[in-house]
Structures are given as C-alpha cells and as structure tokens.
Structure 1
Amino acid sequence: MKKKVTINVYGKVQGIMFRQTFIRAAIKRELDAGATNDPNDRNHVTCSMEGDDTIIEELIHDLAQLDKLNSWGAKVDKVERLSDYLNYSSHEVTTENVDEYKWSSGVEFYL
C-alpha cells in the first residue's frame, strides 16, 4: 500500500551529510523523498517520503535505531511524525535533484 509521511528528525543532522544520506537511502528503497534543513535549528531536518508503507516504516525505524547513519557521524536522537504531509518535491534536496548538488566527497552511507 502506498503511503505519504512527513517527519521531523532531531539529532546530529546538519553539516554532516544527513540529507544526502537520507535521500540515498530512499533511492535505494525506491521511495520518493525530500529533506530540508531547519535554518534556525542545526539539530533539526524535516523529511517527507512517498512509497510502500512497509518500506517507509522500516526506514523510519532504521533512522531512529542506527548508531551512525554515515561515516561523518550523522545520528538521529528523535523522530517525530507530522499529521500534515509536506510534498517531498517541495524540499531543498529530493530524490530528483540530489545529484545536482556539489556534495563533499568521501562519505560512506550506512542507512
């Protein structure tokens, strides 16, 4: 069953390649997704996903449970589901535009 979910993610998530890590994880799982940094809180990113219900739930679980999401030390302390869905394509980084960014090299993705 197809699902649409928006979450707030809190932790060590800005300046540490979290958005790219999240988007690469979504692509690997065949989800449409987007992520946006909170300009006022370096410990907060908003993410949206569309796709298979089970796969989305597994990704949310992995976000909250993994000790390190990438080799730069991205780490989630808390995931909060939002009642309203923010379309994934309205985010800064999406599964469609991720390759247009000039990301720093040398990061390994564990998510």
Structure 2
Amino acid sequence: MTEVTESYQVGGQVQNVMFRQTIIRACQARGLTGGATNVKADKHQVLITLSGPAEKVKEIVDFLKSGKHMNDWGAHATSVSLLENTIPLTSHQVTTDNVDKRKWNPNVKFYL
C-alpha cells in the first residue's frame, strides 16, 4: 500500500460553508491525516493537505473534482489543483489533530 502526502488548492464554494470541518471529517473516516486553511485573500479558495494511503487520498480528490456537494451547507469544489510543494500539516488552521478543539455549528450533515 503506497502512502502519499499531497497538498491541493481547492476553489469553489469553500468558505463559510463548513468546508474545512467536512474535509477533515472525511479524512478521519478514511484513516487519513489532513489539514485545511482558508485563503484570506480569496474567499473562494482553500488549501488542503491529505496524507495516508494513496487510494484513500484519491477517493477524496476524485469526490472534490466531481463538484458534488460535500455537505448540506452547499460546500463544493469547482477546481482542484495539486500544489508543487506540500504544506506541512502543522501549518494548517484545521487539522485531524485539532478539529475537535474548535467550536463548530452542530447543524451540518456530511456527504463526503
């Protein structure tokens, strides 16, 4: 089983729609570690890092590329670009390590 760590820039409806929590919960459900950060200069961009079995990372990336809604708040990607340089997990705002320390709106249903 090949392990990978990859970072992506994701565009679309990705801020103020529980995208970061949704992507991190998707990582946890698949046994991945991950991180997500809003791009302050562009409310339609988020940076993510996914780490773990290549097929599980691909599963999440393929879902993002499909453009399907990730949750019932309307989070969805319209573009997904692999970054040349990997963003360290510790550099992200929300990670699989700290997601439960944040206060999230409990009224969100995850589809991813």
Could you tell me the TM-score, scaled by structure 2's length?
A: 0.96
Q: Percent identity?
A: 39
Show the counterpart of 2:6: 5
Q: How many residues align?
A: 111
1:89 Cα shift?
2.2
Show the counterpart of 1:102: 103
Note the 1:21-40 alignment, pairs <5 A: 21-40=22-41
Show the counterpart of 2:66: 65
Name the CA distance, whole Å, in 1 between partners of 2:28 and 2:64.
15
Show the counterpart of 1:14: 15
Deviations 1:51-98 (CA, angstroms, capped at 9, x unpaired): 001111111001111421101010100000001111122100000000
Name the CA distance, whole Å, in 1 between partners of 2:63 and 2:76.
11
Instruction: Tell me whether 1:84 sits opposite 2:96 in the alignment.
Output: no
Could you tell me the TM-score, scaled by structure 1's length?
A: 0.97
1:110 Cα shift?
0.2
SS in 1 for 2:60: helix
Task: Name the Cα RMSD after superposition.
Answer: 0.8
Name the CA distance, whole Å, in 2 between partners of 1:36 and 1:102.
16
Structure 1 moving runs of 4+ over 3 Å: none
5+ residue gaps, structure 1, are none
Name the CA distance, whole Å, in 2 between partners of 1:59 and 1:49.
9
Name the CA distance, whole Å, in 2 between partners of 1:92 and 1:103.
14
Q: Which is worse superposed, 25-34 or 64-73?
A: 64-73
